[in-house]
Structure 1
Amino acid sequence: MALDAIFNRDTRDPLSVAEKSLLNESFKYTGGGLVLTALAARSLFRSGVAFKIMATNPWVVLGVSLVGSIGTMMGVMYTPPEKTFQKHLFWLGFNACQAATLSPLFFFSPAILSRAALYTVGIVGSISYVGATATNDKFLNLGGPLLAGVTVVALSSLAPMVLPMGLRSLAITEAISLYGGLALFGGFVLYDTQKILKHARLAEAGHMKADPINESIGLELDMINIFIRLVQILAMQSNRKK
């Protein structure tokens, strides 16, 4: 409600049929991908794969997950929508890579995971509503600042792995990674929602082809990053209460 009142005072006209269609299809693929990722991650955890992932060198896990995720994501992006089978195969591979990376999260309490999931849906739902009802391209100029923010958050996340740091420095970098990342990926939801609407208008004009699977990748990564940070924040709060 606050976002809508502050950033969305001048709302746009109702969405066109093309915009509604691409937005709905993109969110369907996003939801489907997240469900597949969650089910696969749960299966990997119950089968013991998550224990092996946790016992592996973190740099190896980081490298394999990055290579697999980026490779399958690029496969999705660069496969034309006409090649349905190949595109869906890359899409399933992308979600499988996300599941392998996220499976250790099931070491956390189910109560924490369920609350984080609920909060994620609420955050993304409300912010995407603001993006969908805002005037055309209002938030597309956030691309540059968001990219800079990703760099800062990524460096703050990796800093404890490569630099000898005191407790105060660790607390600062952790706060930047968690709370800064939460705000950052909320901004990405705004950006990606408006990008979908722009692509729908371009597709309607014949300048490009509508591709909901491609659009869903960005939204899925936004939601995963928000969810991970909420899990960590809730776990910290739970430990402090104890």
Structure 2
Amino acid sequence: MVLTSQSFSSKFPPSVRSHLTQVYWTLLVSILFMSVGLSMHLYFSIGYSTVPQLLVPLLTLLNVFYPRNPQTEKTRKYLLYSLCTAIGCEMGPLIEVALETDPSIFLTAVSGTAVVFLCFSGAAIVAERKSYLFLGGFLSSSLSVLVWFSLLSFLVSLKVEQFVQLYVGLFVFTGYVLYDTQLIIEKAYHGSSDVVTDAVMLFFDVLAIFVRILIILMKNFQKNEEKERRKHE
């Protein structure tokens, strides 16, 4: 089901439409700034330095604790775009490996992430109000499992840890796109107009999905290469 501009206008009141439009525009600009950070790494190898590794947690904390009111929204957007740029730099080495392995992997991951996000976010928009909010508890529990698996992997070698982080994580963050989109809509209905916070939620959903799709594609490519090499031995 395609959400046309006419059905979008009729489904939501003007305040909700305006808020959603601002959130998605801010998300798009955030992704563009992440691309700038990635380009900075590809040209200057900045991702191998400690600069982005220090900036990412610092800017994340600033985004979380900076005062939230209409007067500070522009400053918070600048902080968000700076964070996205730093994340792009930090992700540079991973993207560089993907490009060296096979450039089509990166393009497939980008297009796959876009399709997944647009389909699931669109599904949340056209669905009945609050129909996916029940996912909140399940997704939070699943995310806790992922965190515990990550912590245990530092102490004990777990063969299933990588599978859980990639495939279960992909499933969880795809669910978060549904949940977060409807949460944003409900908050807008109740008068919340925090564009930056809502864009941050969707940005990290997109980022988590992209990284997992990229790594899965890289691993599948390496497995196929290994199979081809064994055939010719």
Q: Shorter-normalised TM-score: what interval?
A: 0.7 to 0.9
SS at match of 1:140: coil
Aligned-residue offset at 1:230: 0.2
Q: Any stretches of 5+ residues in structure 2 without a counterpart?
A: 3-9, 226-233
Aligned-residue offset at 1:29: 0.7
Q: Which residue of 1 aligns with 2:109?
A: 116
Q: Percent identity?
A: 20
Q: State how 1:180-199 maps to structure 2 within 5 Å.
A: 180-199=168-187
Q: Which residue of 1 aligns with 2:63?
A: 73
Distance 2:69 2:92 in 1: 30
> In the TM superposition, what whole-angstrom CA distance separates every residue of 1:44-82 from its partner, at most 9, and x where no partner exists?
2321222346xx9xxx95xx4663253132145x33122
Q: Which residue of 1 aligns with 2:203?
A: 220
Q: Which residue of 1 aligns with 2:122?
A: 129
> In the TM superposition, what whole-angstrom CA distance separates every residue of 1:108-143 from its partner, at most 9, and x where no partner exists?
123211110100000010001111111111222222
Aligned-residue offset at 1:41: 2.0
Distance 2:199 2:115 in 1: 18
Instruction: Pick closer, same or farther for the CA change 1:115–1:87 going to 2, 3 Å.
Output: same
Task: Say how many residue pairs are matched.
Answer: 214
- The one-letter amino acid paired with 1:143 is G
Q: Which residue of 2 aligns with 1:43?
A: 40
Q: Any stretches of 5+ residues in structure 1 without a counterpart?
A: 5-12
Is 1:155 matched with 2:148? yes
Q: Which residue of 1 aligns with 2:16?
A: 19
Aligned-residue offset at 1:218: 0.3
After TM superposition, the structure 1 stretch with the greater mean CA deviation from structure 2, 40-49 or 121-130, is: 40-49
Query: Which structure would you say has the larger RCO, counting Cα contacts within 8 Å and 6 or more residues apart?
Result: 1
Distance 2:79 2:47 in 1: 23
Q: What RMSD over aligned residues (CA atoms) do the two structures have, in Å?
A: 2.4
Relative to the length of structure 2, the TM-score reads 0.82
Instruction: Pick closer, same or farther for the CA change 1:36–1:176 going to 2, 3 Å.
Output: same
Distance 2:76 2:60 in 1: 15
Q: Which residue of 2 aligns with 1:7?
A: none
SS at match of 1:136: coil
Structure 1 segments, 4+ long, off by >3 Å, are 157-160
CA contact (8 A) 1:72 1:93 kept: no
Distance 1:72 1:113 in 2: 30
CA contact (8 A) 1:79 1:86 kept: no
